[in-house]
Amino acid sequence: MSTHVPNVSSRLSLGFSCVGHTYSHLFAPTFFVVALLLEAEFNLTHGEVVSLIVAGNVLFGVGAPVAGWIADRWSASGMIAVYFFGVGAGMVLTGLAQSPFQLMMFLTLTGIFGSIYHPVGFAWLVSQVEKRGAALGLNGVFGTVGPSVAALSAGVLTDAINWRAAFIVPGALVFLTGVAFLALRQRGVIHDASIERVAEHTASKRDVMRTILVLAVTMLCTGLIYQTTSAALPKVFSERLADFAGEGVFGIGAMVAMVYVVAGAVQLIAGRMCDTHSLKLIYMLAFVSQVPFLFLAAQFGGGGLMFAALVLVSANQAALPVENTLIARYAPKDWRALAFGLKFILAFGVSSLGVLLEGKVYDLTGGFYWLFIVLACIATVGLVVGWLLPSERKVQAQPAE
């Protein structure tokens, strides 16, 4: 009987890790759809409304290494429980906010608790699976589905009830997931992994440092493009695809959801490729695919804009399992959660400035042309710097514990 426990625990860990990844990407995309209505309700410009989430987005990234450090020294599964309860409560409170200041405060609170997931959830997952690329790719799909679920549910709940329900309903669901997770943890069905299921790879200090320095730049580029396009898509669709969207925000939410569903499928393929193909090659393809379609998105409307959005968002998401596999490969086991946390300072903390960039550029120019041009330049920087990643060779592996 006991021989089945590790398998059950591993499967449940994968399941909760995947669901948790979806939840981590609910609050910001929900806000960006709801923001279309908040401009009129609070008499604010588009830039002023989106600025309300900037502090939450920054702490979503900056808080990650702290959460990772605590998980490395206390308990990864314990931190995941705290994550579910904190994000759920934060979203419910956001739905109850009565002023822009309260909105900002509760979005910030949600961002603080949301910062737990990426460093802890990823480190917890890679410690229990053998095919890390495939697992991270599958997990990444659930993360990419988060904006799809958020955009679609925000559109449905806002049109059917009001914008507050768009936060309260999913927030309650996240909280209840925490109750189920904690109950399983208390029974010992879910627990922290005690051994590594994958052999540790050895690499020269030079290659490790080179990889770290390259990823510091490329992950910032990936994060900036992700954060900026997440904020921009609902607004740009509402302006350039109005004939397709119809009235209300449901149509816009559905189109944004479709973009991220396709991106999730592409990310799953990229994750599987990470186990069998050159990580550097996949990474380069992800950046080179973004550049031309960001230029096209600057100019197109209608079907051309939708196609460009599908490709550029999918390519951006395809880079993520590569980055996570590289971190899992090079980071020492006992510091892995902290290493993932440091990644998300760049991917979500510093790159949250992309939300401010989106709002400021729109308020100044009244459109999105120059925003997409800037993003194309950022993708070009990522492509050039990513080429400096060390060439992959057969690496000696040390046996797992």
Q: What share of the chain is helix, strand, coil (3-state, %, to 5)?
A: 80, 0, 20
The residue among 232, 230, 257 whose CA lies nearest residue 156 is 257
As a whole-number percent, the residues of the chain with pLDDT over 90 amount to: 35
Give the pLDDT score at 180: 94
> CA distances (Å), 373 to each of 23, 90, 285, in order?
31, 35, 19
Q: Which residue has the tokens 């992309």?
A: 354
Listed ranges 9-13, 56-60, 178-182; the one with the highest mean pLDDT: 178-182
| 367: in domain | yes
| 330: in domain | yes
Contact of 373 with 249, CB cutoff 8 Å: no
Q: Give the tokens for residue 353.
A: 């400035």
Q: How far is Cα 371 from Cα 297, in angstroms, rounded to an integer? A: 10
As a whole-number percent, the residues of the chain with pLDDT over 70 amount to: 88
Give the pLDDT score at 203: 59
Give the pLDDT score at 171: 96
CA-CA-CA-CA dihedral for 191, 194, 199, 202, to nearest 10: 110
Domain containing 50 equals 2-391
Q: Give the tokens for residue 265.
A: 């499928």
| 332: in domain | yes
Q: Give the tens place of pLDDT for each residue, 351-395.
A: 778 888 888 899 999 899 999 999 999 999 999 999 988 876 544
| 400: in domain | no
The residue among 164, 199, 53 whose CA lies nearest residue 114 is 53
| 99: in domain | yes
The residue among 56, 52, 267 whose CA lies nearest residue 148 is 267
Q: Give the tens place of pLDDT for each residue, 58-87.
A: 888 888 888 888 887 888 888 999 999 999
CATH of the domain at 112: 1.20.1250.20
- Of residues 233 and 401, the one with the higher pLDDT is 233
| Average pLDDT score over residue span 266-285 | 87
How many domains does the structure of the chain reveal?
1
| 398: in domain | no
Give the pLDDT score at 202: 56
| 399: in domain | no
Q: Give the tokens for residue 215.
A: 């990823």
Q: Give the tokens for residue 228.
A: 């900026």
Q: Which residue has the tokens 């939708």?
A: 306
| 401: in domain | no
Cα torsion 154, 34, 53, 145: sign: positive
